[in-house]
Amino acid sequence: MGVVQLLDKKFKTSIPEAEIKKHVKEVAERINRDLKDKNPLFLAVLNGSFIFAADLMREITIPCEISFVKLASYQGTTSTGKITEVIGINEDLSGRCIVIVEDIVDTGLTMKRMLETLGTRCPAEIHICALLVKPDKLQVDLDIEYAAMRIPNDFIVGYGLDYDQQGRNLPDIYTVID
């Protein structure tokens, strides 16, 4: 296991890239099966989900579309609890099958806000696809149909996730050690 230094913190490898990609492929296969006749619109939540979304889309074999939305709720290693929509959704969602693609769901507050925002646009259905879920930290009840991995309540970086904008480029996922 490797150790990396990002700013004032050290992180150790907790999920290697090969394991991540295996789980991404499994989630994509379920989506391909479940949504095969729906032409889903994938809405990737920036910035963190961009690597996950790219790898997921390479495994999706059904007709689909992708777009991006940016919501902010983190500062440093903790959620601020205040969610600000930075980049909105321009597509017409009426009657569409939507798949929200998120890097990590911890408190669930960001996802709840996203579901509320999308619900006003009259989609036919909304599905949640998350690379990582922290079940012990969830504060709201969410149906996360496509969760690639469940993890403990540790602060992590890599594979798109960051610590003050650092570490997104790391191919593995790392857990803070100090």
- Concatenating the DSSP letter of every residue in the chain gives --EEEETTEEEEEEE-HHHHHHHHHHHHHHHHHHTTTS--EEEEEETTTHHHHHHHHHH--SS-EEEEEEEEEEETTEEEEEEEEEE---S--TT-EEEEEEEEESSSHHHHHHHHHHHTT--SEEEEEEEEE-GGG--S----SEEEEE--S--EEBTTB-BTTBSTT-SSEEEE--
In 3D, which of 77, 79, 57, 60 has the Cα closest to residue 68? 57
Q: Which residues are catalytic?
A: 106
At 3, give phi and psi (nearest 5°).
Answer: -125, 135
